[in-house]
Structure 1
Amino acid sequence: MKKEIKFSLVYRDMWQSSGKYQPRVDQLVQIAPLIIEMGCFSRVETNGGAFEQVNLLYGENPNKAVRAFTKPFNDAGIQTHMLDRGLNALRMYPVPADVRKLMYKVKHAQGVDITRIFCGLNDVRNIIPSIQYAKAAGMIPQATLCITFSPVHTVEYYANIADQLIEAGAPEICLKDMAGVGRPVFLGKLTKAIKDKHPEVIIQYHGHSGPGLSMASILEVCQNGADVIDVAIEPISWGKVHPDVISVQAMLKDAGFKVPEINMSAYMKARAKTQEFIDDFLGYFMNPGNKLMSSLLLTSGLPGGMMGSMMADLEGVHSGINLMLKNQGKPELSIDDLLVKLFEEVQYVWPMVGYPPLVTPFSQYVKNIALMNILTEVRGEPKFSMMDKHIWGMILGESGKLPGKLDPQIIALAKEKGYEFTDKNPQDNYPDELDKYRKEMDENGWEYGEDDEELFELAMHDRQYRDYKSGVAKERFLTDLAKAKEESMAEKGYTAEDILAIKRAKYEPVTSEVKGQVIWEIDVDSPSMAPAVGKHFSPDDIFCYITTSWGEHTPVKANFDGKIIEVIAKQGDKINKGEPLAYIERTKE
């Protein structure tokens, strides 16, 4: 009888590994039926780390997004799963226990079946409580091993961790090869070691394509007992992302495994719809380099998901470093020179800080140390002199136990600064906080939401949630999008005048009805300022006032239902009848 292999579509991670943003809720509900129609997925990754934050950055409600995206899969009998950072839950830094417990109740109520729990340090103290919290809430806890390649990360090391997680109640284990640096034979041996001892446990493999080993790794883990493989679909498969389901299915079918058939008509529709999302706006925030594979990733071990942010960091310091080198009479560095230098510095730094697996947030910490070391070296300052409190928290043990030993130089630097190392349970460093957030919601008159989901969102992402509630997040996103579109057009050779003309031609002007002076607000209790980009108007709303030469304040009604795209007239500007005050986009019916 052929061994059956199931496929999971990591639709959330596909986007996170490609760029800054993920599809909006209106787009997610369009793609879900097509994913179901493809007929080859037993699981879909619908949410988790970064998903909720991205929704808040749009100025949208992440709880509505999760419920809307999971429902079609729930109805179709396809399991949904989320990414969960253990002690850090859905953010980049530790979360109190009461907030972690609430998360599983909320996500289960929202339609999420499985939570993939990982700790960036593979510290079981950060994973086991989440296994228990998830089971208590009715979710399936999938305990995770963060795969990397180092002298301390052996098959025995990982198999021992798997034993502890399974004993704690995990019915599934994920091999999370977030950088794709796990060697195929090693991964096969690890899979076999777990399956031989725990044949009933489901093993799911998650491997990025970055350095080019993922297809060989998939074949090895399947031949040694893996049950589920994470895959992607075009147009954002491969590169720094994940292998495409078509290639994985063909390879495994030829190797004698039982694999599901793919409805290619639905695949092409899902492919086109995903490209539509990219063309709509998501592509403006996608780094082209993330579509490429690179063997250089084997030297640094950095995950594909952070390559976009890393390149942005490099571009940000590139000119500053070259200016300092030029002033010192030294040759300047190209961006490729700087990239290689960064990879080399990561290789130097990583063992010194105890070989933390390079996954969120520790991949960012190690990368940041390396980048700051390059900067301080150019300045003639000592290395390891620009590490923030989060990096020190990792080094001191506040986030968990490091897998390797710290270099004596790092230990000496910590003592010099008067820092203390700790081996106590990481969660003990972060007391409960839900009561504090309940008080804030009560004071603001905010609803806790269905199943306390709004309370959870504030407690998990307090700063982003406040910006969402105030409207600041929406305004910021629209401004960022407009800027990204203009930068894209400029790269294609358009002049500033061309860009302005194209933008204005696409939208509808609101014009002045009389000749006079523009007054945006005449209420003495309100500031005299133009409406913000993205502000919505209804037909009967007063858009602005025009002060005529005879001193009359003539109100200009909006006469439209839509939002501001660009404000032309400034406070006090003189304007003729028929000239544009602003450009708007009407609400689609």
Structure 2
Amino acid sequence: MSREIKFSLLYRDMWQSSGKYVPKVEQLEKVAPAIIDMGCFDRVETNGGGFEQINLLFGENPNVANRRWTQPFNDAGIQTHMLERALNGIRMSPVPADVRKLMYKVKKLQGTDIARSFCGLNDPRNLENSIKFAKEGGMISQAALSLTISKVHTVEYYTKLANTLIEMGADEICVKDMAGIGRPAFIGKIIKNIKTKHPETIVQYHGHAGPGFSMASILEAARAGVDYVDVAMEPLSWGTGHADVLAVHGMLKDAGFKVKDINMKAYMEVRSMTQDFMNDFLGYWISSKNRQMNSLLIGSGLPGGMMGSLMADLDTNLKSVNKWLEKRNKPVLTQDDLLIKLFEEVEYIWPMLGYPPLVTPFSQYVKNLALMNVTQLIKGRERWSMIADNIWDMIIGKSGKLPGELAPEIIHLAETHGKQFYTGVPQDLYPDDLDHYRKEMKDNNWDFGQDDEELFELAMHPEQYRAYKSGKAKQDFEEELARKKEAKMKKDCKEVPAAVAGAYEPKSMIIDINGEKFNVGISYGDVAPAASTNGAAAPAAPAAAPAPAATGAVSEVVAPLEGKFMLTKDNTETALKVGDAVKEGDLICYIESMKTYNAIVSESAGTVTAILKANGDNVDEDDVLVQLG
């Protein structure tokens, strides 16, 4: 009898590999019954990763969304799974152990069956608590191997890692090919080694389509003994996403594997609804380039999930660079120009940084550092001149052990910045902190929620949760959406040829006289365009009044990049205030950009006379943030 291979639909990752956002809860509830009716899925990825932060950005309660979204699958007997980042939980920065522990309890009670846990550095010390806490919370622990290709990431390396994780108690293993750059034979050997030594351990394969290996990789994984394959479906398959279930189904069936039949009527319903969600608003953040395969990704190794948001954000970086170039009368860059420069810089710096697997958050760290280097070099500055705190933590070992060795240049750079290398257990650096957030909940008279889920949300995503509670998050999202719609409308108008006076009038007509048809030309004579106040040129705006002259010596701290102005990055820091004395090199604030906190320091000493931005405000490059007297 042929061996069965089961499918898992990545309805979360489908969206986040294509763009910036995921559907709202009403949309998810609408599509769930049709996904179930397709009849071919034994698992659905429902949450995890950035899912809950996106709920908060919408102004949605992520706990309510998760319960309502997972319920239909729970009722149908389809397992649900989430993605979590070990030490970083479901955010981009390390999480205290008590908050991590609460996460599994909350997610299981909300309806999530399986925790897929990965460490971006493949450090087993970071995954040990994930395995332990998931099982204590009643979840199935699926430990992931973050796959990449380098001189240190060999078949033997991943086989040993899988053995270690299974010995730690992992129920399942996911071979997570997050960039889709794993060569098919390489993947097959890893899975075969795991199944040979641990035949009862379930293995699931996750791979992205972008570089072009995915179909061959899935077939090799199937032949090697894989149990589940992650798939997507149109209109969000292929490109930076994943292989389409129809193609995978046909390939595996032809190869002699047993696969469940697909209800094509339901498939078309899900396909249609997904397109409707894109047309509604989600498509505003999906670049057309994300729908294309791109073998350039083989070299850079950047993951599909990150490419989705990268292409959505790249326009902002391009505008910043081109704004600087235009001011200096230099040739501007195209998006492709900047993308190629970025890919080349990633390839250059990745080995120097110790080959961290390019998966969240370390893919973002390497990409962000590469992009900072590119923009600084364009502006005539030095490489490595701006490194965010999160990136430093990766370099010096606070996030875990790097797979490879740091380049001497990077070690020297760390030493000149006074950084101390850390070799201990990363979790020890982040002590329990739930009591702090309990106090904040009580002080604000906020409801702790069912099973302490609101407490968990504040502790996991403090800044986003506060913005959600205040209503600022929803307001900011609606303003961003309005700008996207306006920009699209203007673009559409430019693509429509301007109307010419008289162009709407017929130039000929057919006249029927007693059954005989005559084609008659029509002339209207010279038509002068009608005067229109709507088309009149607007009066010139009055010149801006000059700023009053400064009465004393004032220095300014300006934003070196676009992002959100943040006075602190966590509750261990004290926010700057007017009247504070600062020295040269003192930390002033942060710019949160591309999911990292970039520290902004003072270039001079003085006293804070004004803080010109509010916490969470969007800022542009060269905006004045703080004034010193």
TM-score, with structure 1 as normaliser: 0.82
User: Is 1:132 the counterpart of 2:132 in the alignment?
Assistant: yes
- Contact 1:49–1:85 at 8 Å: present in 2 too? yes
The superposition leaves residues 28-62 of structure 1 with CA deviations (integer Å, 9 ceiling, x where unpaired) of: 11111101100000000010011111111111110
1:88 paired to 2:88: yes
Segments ≥4 residues shifted beyond 4 Å:
322-332
Contact 1:324 1:378 in 2 (8 A): no
Match of 1:230 in 2: 230
The equivalences for 1:25-104 within 5 A come to 25-104=25-104
Answer yes or no: is 1:481 the counterpart of 2:481: yes
Cα distance change, pair 323–100 in 1 and its aligned pair in 2 (3 A): closer
CA shift in 2, pair 1:318/1:285, >3 Å: closer
- Change in 2 beyond 3 A, CA 1:322/1:20: closer
Letter in 2 for 1:57: L
- Sequence identity, in percent? 64
TM-score of the superposed pair, with normalisation by structure 2: 0.77
For the residue of structure 2 that corresponds to 1:153, the secondary structure is: coil
Cα shift at 1:153: 0.4
Match in the other structure for 2:105: 105
Residue 282 of structure 1, CA deviation: 1.0
The 3 A distance-change label for structure 1 pair 490 and 326 is closer
Question: Secondary structure of 1:141's match?
Answer: strand
CA distance in 2, matches of 1:277, 1:326: 38
Residues 177-219 of structure 1, C-alpha deviations (whole Å, 9 max, x = no match): 1110011010000101111111111110000101111000000
SS state at 1:3 partner: coil
Alpha-carbon distance between aligned partners in 2 of 1:281 and 1:313, rounded to the nearest angstrom: 17
Residue in 2 that maps onto 1:573? none
Residues 145-204 of structure 1 deviation map (CA, whole Å, 9 limit, x = unaligned): 011111110011111110110001111100111110011010000101111111111110
Could you tell me which residue of structure 2 aligns to residue 145 of structure 1?
145
Following superposition of structure 1 onto structure 2, how do residues 197-276 of structure 1 map, counting pairs within 5 Å?
197-276=197-276
Q: What is the number of residues matched between the two proteins?
A: 497
Higher mean C-alpha displacement, 106-115 vs 309-318: 309-318
Does the residue aligned with 2:493 lie in a helix, a strand or coil? Answer: coil
Q: Match for residue 390 of structure 2?
A: 390
CA distance in 2 between counterparts of 1:475 and 1:5 reads 45
Q: CA 1:477–1:443 in structure 2 vs 1: closer, same or farther (change >3 Å)?
A: same
Deviation, 1:493, is: 1.4
Match of 2:375 in 1: 375
Is the Cα contact below 8 Å between 2:19 and 2:312 reproduced in 1?
no
The alpha carbon displacement at 1:460 in A equals 0.5
Greater shift, 308-317 or 434-443, is seen at 308-317
- 1:319 offset after TM fit, Å? 4.6
Tell me which moved more, 381-390 or 226-235.
Answer: 381-390
Q: How far apart are residue 314 of structure 1 and its match? A: 3.7
Query: What are the equivalent positions in structure 2 for 1:322-333 lying under 5 Å apart?
Result: 322=322, 332-333=332-333
Alpha-carbon deviation of 1:388?
A: 1.0
- Matched AA of 2:423: D
- Following TM superposition, by how much is the alpha carbon of 1:338 offset from its aligned partner in structure 2, in angstroms? 2.0
- Report the Cα offset of residue 296 of structure 1: 0.5
Measure the CA separation in 1 of the matches of 2:449 and 2:320: 47
Question: 1:323 Cα shift?
Answer: 5.9
Per-residue CA deviation, residues 536-572 of structure 1 (Å, 9 max, x unaligned), is xxxxxxxxxxxxxxxxxxxxxxxxxxxxxxxxxxxxx
Distance 1:271 1:95 in 2: 37
Mark the runs of 5 or more structure 1 residues left unpaired by the alignment. 499-589
Q: Describe the superposition over 1:396-435 as per-residue Cα deviations: whole angstroms up to 9, x where unpaired.
A: 0000000000000000111111110011100011111100
C-alpha distance in 2 between matches for 1:333 and 1:494? 22
Q: CA deviation at 1:447?
A: 1.1
**Residues 363-442 of structure 1: pairs in structure 2 closer than 5 A:** 363-442=363-442
Quick check: which one's helix share is greater? 1
1:354-401 CA-to-partner distances (Å, cap 9, x unmatched) read: 000001111111111111111222233221121111100000000000
Contact 1:289/1:308 (<8 A) preserved: no
Q: Could you tell me which amino acid in structure 1 is paired with residue 281 of structure 2?
A: F
1:285 maps to 2:285: yes
Query: Which residue of structure 1 aligns with residue 553 of structure 2?
Result: none
Deviations 1:96-151 (A, max 9, x none): 00000000000000010000000000001111111000101110000000111111
Note the C-alpha offset of 1:494. 6.1
